[in-house]
Structure 1
Amino acid sequence: MRTVGVEEELLLVDPDSGEPKALAAPVLAHAAQDDPGQDVFEKELFGQMLEFATHPQSDMADLGGEIVRCRKEAARHAGEIGCAVVALATSPLPVSPSLTVNERYRWLAERYGIPTWDQLVCGCHVHVSVESDEEGIAVLDRIRPWLPVLRAISANSPFWQGEDTDYASYRSRVWNRWPSAGPTEPFGTAERYHRRVTGMVATGVILDEAMAYFDARLSARYPTVEIRVADVCLCAGTAELIATLCRALVETAAREWRTDRPAADPGVSMLRLADWQAARFGLERDLLDPVTLRPRPAPRVLRALLEYVGDALTDSGDAVRAERGVEELLRTGNGAREQRALLARTGSLRDVVTECVHRTQG
């Protein structure tokens, strides 16, 4: 059974005003003092962000439970410092990001200028184990058309600097300002993948291998593929659903590779259009069908995804859980819909943030 781990980035906010607070350093210090051996929480690019990583899990219920536990622990540590954590992929309220001081982040700011300061955005990265780099590349080449669907499911960033952006996932539009971000062409072999990344680093445009910010890539630290398209999800259950679908996609792609089924290649230009459509509308309008790349209602595309990975979900025991998760998501909506509904009800972005603080912990 393939193992899965999840990394989530959370915003640190004032519990009353909802405004982001650059308190990552004291929150991390409190976590380290509370548990000197902890390896869960890490700093991020800005002081208003806190990252955690789960341990690898083979049971999706266990993974979902660990996501909830990590969120609650993050909230506890933040509360001791006088702030709160919230699973929002962008801040609804205006914010002036505070850069974390280290050599790497200073390099980013100096190299890329203003776009660096826009990167106060929170994502969810899913690591799924693979047997080898060759299997990993076979997987990356085959899951490409389905990644925009994961973007639409997770979309949780409709607001930016106090305004509605008209996007469901504005975080993705901000993230794609990095020169190495976005969809990739098929690589074919692990050797070609590594040669491409090495060549990118040699240009000097990116600092190192970790800055190959592809939508999905081989992890430089673990024997995994790392799927990086998702916004951090407001509901922990949605994060669990994303992780479940990621594992099923990886397993399905690996099986296709082992039976010599070739990878479809719709082209990066078409994948960029599909990704834009998913970011713009989330689940509220048509998505581009991953097979035909023509508009199709979002519920039908999500059910097509379940059908495509159905054998893998059944074999892992996740089929019923995934089907229920998708139907619940279609009924209640993703984080972008929930945030807009909260604003419509309260008329206040501050109230949106403070209500989402409570929903973050489930």
Structure 2
Amino acid sequence: MGVEEEFLLVTPDGVPYAVAPTVLRLAADLPSDPRPGGDLEKEFKQEQVEVSTHPCTDLDDLLAQVRDGRARTDAVARQAGARIAAMGTAPHVVESTVIPDRRANEIRARFGQTAREQLTCGCHVHVAVADDDEGVHVIDHLRAWNAVLLALSANSPSWLGSATGYASYRSQVWGRWPTAGATAPFGDAATYRAVIAELLRSGTALDDGMIYFDARLSARYPTVEVRVADVCLDPQDAVLQAVLVRALAETAVRTDPDPAPVRAEILRSWTWRAARSGTTGELVSPTTGEPRPAADVVAELVDHVHDALVATGELDWVRARVADVLRRGNGAVQQLAWRAEGADDDAVVRRAADVTLG
């Protein structure tokens, strides 16, 4: 498993800062590692940057890598006069800047306001699969649980200077892209590839890098890439996402496909519910299709992957982490608590930058 995290670049005062090209030039001088992942990479806007971990099997190793990646990225950003903040959206009114890249400029021209306003940061989890057919089986199995993963990660309650009333407004902004969101079950790799080909033929996606499904086959690695989560404020919450995704994948491989899969239209409503209230209200139970308290639905997820977590020795850790998230709240809850204490936009970002580094 591995994790990719996108971060806002901000000034020391807490304002989004279009300095990614400088940060990436500085990062190019860092020692290289031959293993996949681990690099600082560009994102769509100059006010953000992405860092990834190397593949690993142990959660302690993954947590160390997530913390190290955040620390390295922040250290390089400081050389450019910036900091990083793990926030799904910036709270400020900001005119974000597309990176100086031909593809990015074509996306901006083709997708208009959706591209102009696109300044969001997510957490992407990769889990290894044996082949594309196994990967599609995992993707189909994940469909019912992706909304619960989003609720645990929700970390974007503000947008363009306003409180949104959502725990994850990033997911609402991201949903504007034509290929984003929940998918119907594919069944096999051939069907998955046929759907991708049809989307590309339609011209509504520039290339396969713009296939923004909640979960997809990675174009770079032999993995399933789960893209539903906000970037997590706490580094341990990012690792929780990875461990749960791996457990869901292991559970999928051990089980047959759902004989009555939930329709994509229904899944979109579950995702909206998770984005709206996160872990503080109700979520839709994947087992009953009815609203239940978020803590109960999260418990359903842990029960669903119980055997996989026992096999890897991660059950107690997951239970403790889930209890902690439900007790202190996800990133959205923490941001709103700072607001209640009197923090303005700049102060919220500064506090987020501090928590980003643990």
> Structure 2 unaligned runs (5+)?
none
Q: Which amino acid aligns with 2:356?
A: T
Q: Which amino acid aligns with 1:339?
A: Q
Match of 1:75 in 2: 74
SS of alignment partner, residue 219 of structure 2 = coil
Residues in 1 aligned to 2:226 and 2:293: alpha-carbon distance in whole angstroms: 24
Residues in 2 aligned to 1:361 and 1:335: alpha-carbon distance in whole angstroms: 14
SS of alignment partner, residue 144 of structure 2 = helix
Task: Tell whether 2:297 aligns with 1:298.
Answer: no
Task: Tell whether 2:286 aligns with 1:275.
Answer: no
Task: Tell whether 2:148 aligns with 1:149.
Answer: yes
TM-score, normalization by structure 2? 0.97
Task: Tell me if structure 1 keeps the 8 A contact 2:95–2:117.
Answer: no
Match of 1:23 in 2: 19
Please, what is the CA RMSD of the aligned residues? 1.1
Q: Which amino acid aligns with 1:121?
A: T
Match of 1:120 in 2: 119
TM-score, normalization by structure 1? 0.96
SS of alignment partner, residue 346 of structure 1 = coil
Residues in 2 aligned to 1:286 and 1:26: alpha-carbon distance in whole angstroms: 43
Residues in 1 aligned to 2:85 and 2:31: alpha-carbon distance in whole angstroms: 22
Question: What pairs up with 1:1-362 in 2 under 5 angstroms?
Answer: 4-16=1-13, 18-35=14-31, 40-257=39-256, 261-362=257-358
Task: Tell me if structure 2 keeps the 8 A contact 1:141–1:263.
Answer: no
Deviation (angstroms), 1:174: 0.2
Residues in 2 aligned to 1:86 and 1:237: alpha-carbon distance in whole angstroms: 15
Residues in 1 aligned to 2:216 and 2:33: alpha-carbon distance in whole angstroms: 29
Q: Which amino acid aligns with 1:133?
A: D
Q: Which amino acid aligns with 2:164?
A: T
- Identity score, percent: 44
Deviation (angstroms), 1:263: 4.9
Task: Tell me if structure 2 keeps the 8 A contact 1:123–1:232.
Answer: yes
> Structure 1 unaligned runs (5+)?
none
Task: Tell me if structure 1 keeps the 8 A contact 2:91–2:162.
Answer: yes
SS of alignment partner, residue 229 of structure 2 = strand
Deviation (angstroms), 1:117: 1.1
Residues in 1 aligned to 2:289 and 2:100: alpha-carbon distance in whole angstroms: 43
